[in-house]
Amino acid sequence: MRGRRGFTLFELMLVIGVLSLAIAAITQVLVAGLRVSRSQMEQADMQANVRLTGLMLPLELREIGYDSNITTGAITSDIEVIGPTYLQFRAMRGLGVTCGTPTLNSFRIRKPAMGFRAPLLTDGFMLYVESDPNTWLDDQWVPLTVTDINYNSTCGADEAIELTTATPVMAPGVNMALSQYFVGGPVRYYERMAVVLYTETDGQPYLGARSLSLSEPGFRPVAGPLDPGIGLRFQYYNRAGVLLDPTATQPREVRAVDIQVVGLSRQPISLAGTVPIAKGVVATRTRVALRNTLRH
Amino acid sequence: MRRFSVRNEQGIALVLTVFALVVIGAVVAGTFFVGRVEQTTGYSTVWSRQAGEAAETGLTWTMTNVEAPTYLAIPVWSPATPSELDLGSRTVAGMPHVSYSSRIRRLNQTLFQVTAVGTRRGTGGRIIASETLVQLVRLAKPTIGVNAAITVQDPIKFNGNAFSISGMNALPPQWLPAECAALDPGNSDDVVGIRSSTGTGANSSDMNNIQGFPTKVVANDPSVTSETFRDFLDYTYATLAAQPGVKVLPSTSTYNGVGPVLDLTQSPAVCNKAAALNFGEPFRNPPTAGAVTQCQNYYPTVHGTGASLKFAAGSRGQGILLVDGDLELAGGFEWSGLVIVRGQMKINGTGNKLYGAILTEGVDLNTSGSVSGNVEIGFSACAIEKAVLGAAVPVPLSRGWAQVF
């Protein structure tokens, strides 16, 4: 080992200093990169939430319709309750076409039914009754009380779903006659749903959904977190495009719903790589024309 | 001078560099991955909406381009006879990758299901997004209670005996039996010649030129009211006149030589339904030479809005003729279908022929209608049905729109 000399203190300190600077710089870059990466993931998650809300709600709402009872003149709307952050409605789940020979207590629809899914016993049902085939002025959707569903029925050689029903009622005290009904008519089934801006157990506000048909006890989160103040806003318009006051409006007047969604990131984000101090915000606004609000 | 040997150097620069590169690479890869996922999701959303809008276009196209007679020619669908009207596929203008196809299924005698599929194709024609929409439809048509060759409220004023009025159901001359439902060889589809809420105006000599079943004429019929001329179930006179595509003849005018019009810019030429004075072709060929066959299935609704409307010097058409004021036929006028006149109707000259039915209200005028000259008026259930179907339109049902994926 003789003849070999070590580094001087100055040399060591110089090297350590240079290395420290290099490591600090690299660390800075890495930390900034990690922040950017994390922020981008947060941002993507937030955008996905808002996008999901912006797609799901119009999909649920645009099939909403209404119908009037020919005898009583009463209007039945698929929107049940409206509010600035709350909406309760009949979400259409499918459409079937009747087949076979019906009785007043049994209607069969061809398989497969069209739409989201097959009918459930918890669904609401409506039967299209023509009455006089020479005119559509007396046509109406009649509520159908379904007491049983047989998914393995047939229409001749074809598969069908049989709905066991109470006798359809055209108006209070007026039962439907079979002569008023024509095979091949449609049956619609729906799930009563409510959507709202609500606070989940984690303390964050979410778009919540609840199936009233399934008697769900509370709301479940669908998308979020959303802004606690303006995260979800519904505005309602009538057929003339006039903005309606939801506290003074009958749901049957609604022809279009404006949906505003403001999403928040779960954590503060910084796309510049600096120390994040604020949560990210992204907003979307969609107006949904209710496609089935025509009388005929 | 000192010399350094590299053989025993044990630095950590390489390790640090590799570590840093791995970490930086992971961060960059993660960033790209997030961006890529966002981009793909965004594209998918756009493609999905393009397919959805294409499907909407398909529904709209079908509803506006397929006419009532085409709907009615479709047999009722069943698994045993699964026949649908396939309307083919079309590309959305300006978007070669986006297309729609549509088809119509008849559910029963009155209801139809229009299905439209919108597709967005990617490279190589592969379908990358599609949406299927359904619109339930029924046909709305005027239901006009016609049970006489001529239905009036004021008595008809007859001059001379060169006329023929028949309530016996028949095809318009030259019409082929295949166009219509079979005629009853008995009398179940025959009606009276003249039905009036007051007097018919026909005396005993006029009766020689009038036919009908069960009687030639019915006077003082309480079923003939002003509603007979205005209320047609799905339609009123006003809503029928306000239908899209109705040919409006404004003001007080005289029209000569109105006949079917061809669109010669097409090859082969087609019936020019946009022409203001094309009222369809009531003649059939054979045997009438010169009949415009392309317009034989065109049954427009024509609306005269002036105080009076006059056809002179040979005009022809088929469908529904609505006249707000008075109608004068001054010779050579031939019409197959329905004629509904809110005022008085005056027929003179020779060669006037009307097959189907005539309803004239005339409640606001003191004068009586008059029929003179060589006039032929015949009840034709087939001509009425064709005219009514010509005015029929497909109407979307309430709650009839559905996304079926």
Q: Would the pLDDT of A295 be above 60? A: no
Size of interface A-B (CB pairs under 8 A): 121
| Shortest CA distance from A30: residue in chain B | B24
Of B45, B140, B401, the CB nearest to A291: B401
Rounded Cα distance between B15 and B370, Å, is: 113
> Is B76 part of the contact surface with chain A (CB cutoff 8 Å)?
yes
Q: What phi and psi, each to the nearest 5 degrees, are found at residue B331? A: 125, 140
Q: Which of A92, A157, A158 sits opposite B402 (nearest CB)?
A: A92
Which chain B positions have a beta carbon within 8 Å of A63's beta carbon?
A: 399, 401-403
pLDDT in tens, A127-182: 999 888 878 888 889 999 999 999 999 998 889 999 999 999 988 888 999 989 89
Segment A186-191 shows an average pLDDT of: 96
Residue-level pLDDT at B364: 34
pLDDT for position B130: 94
**pLDDT score, position B300:** 94
Which one-letter amino acid corresponds to residue B54? A
Q: Which residue has the higher pLDDT, B7 or A53?
A: A53
Whether A71 has a pLDDT exceeding 90, the answer reads no
ipTM of the complex: 0.84
pLDDT score of A3: 58
Q: B80: which chain A residues are within 8 Å (Cβ-Cβ)?
A: 156
Q: Which pLDDT score, from 0 to 100, does residue A28 have? A: 86
A51 contacts in B (CB within 8 Å)?
Answer: 41, 45
Q: Which uninterrupted H or E stretch holds B388?
A: helix B381-391
A4: pLDDT confidence band, cut at 50, 70 and 90?
low
pLDDT at A53: 86
Determine, for residues A95 and B397 on separate chains, whether the beta-carbon distance falls below 8 Å: no
Decide if B40 touches A, using CB distance below 8 A: no
Task: Provide the residue-wise pLDDT of chain B in tens; the chain has 405 residues.
Answer: 555 555 555 667 788 788 878 877 887 887 788 778 878 878 888 898 899 999 999 999 999 888 888 898 899 988 888 889 999 999 998 889 999 999 999 998 889 999 999 999 998 889 999 999 999 998 888 888 889 999 998 888 887 778 889 999 999 988 888 888 888 888 889 999 999 999 888 888 889 999 999 999 999 999 998 888 888 877 889 989 998 889 999 877 789 989 999 999 988 999 999 999 999 999 986 667 778 999 998 999 999 998 889 998 789 999 999 999 999 888 889 999 999 998 888 888 788 899 999 998 753 323 334 555 578 999 999 999 999 988 888 888 889 999 988
The pLDDT tens digits of the residues spanning A230-271 come to 999 999 999 889 999 998 888 888 999 999 999 998 888 887
**Preferred mutation among A291, A293, A295 to probe B, highest tally of B CBs within 10 A:** A291
Q: Given an 8 Å threshold on Cβ–Cβ distance, is A40 in contact with B31?
A: yes
Do A252 and A78 meet the contact criterion of CB atoms below 8 Å apart?
A: no
For residue B366, the model assigns a pLDDT of: 33
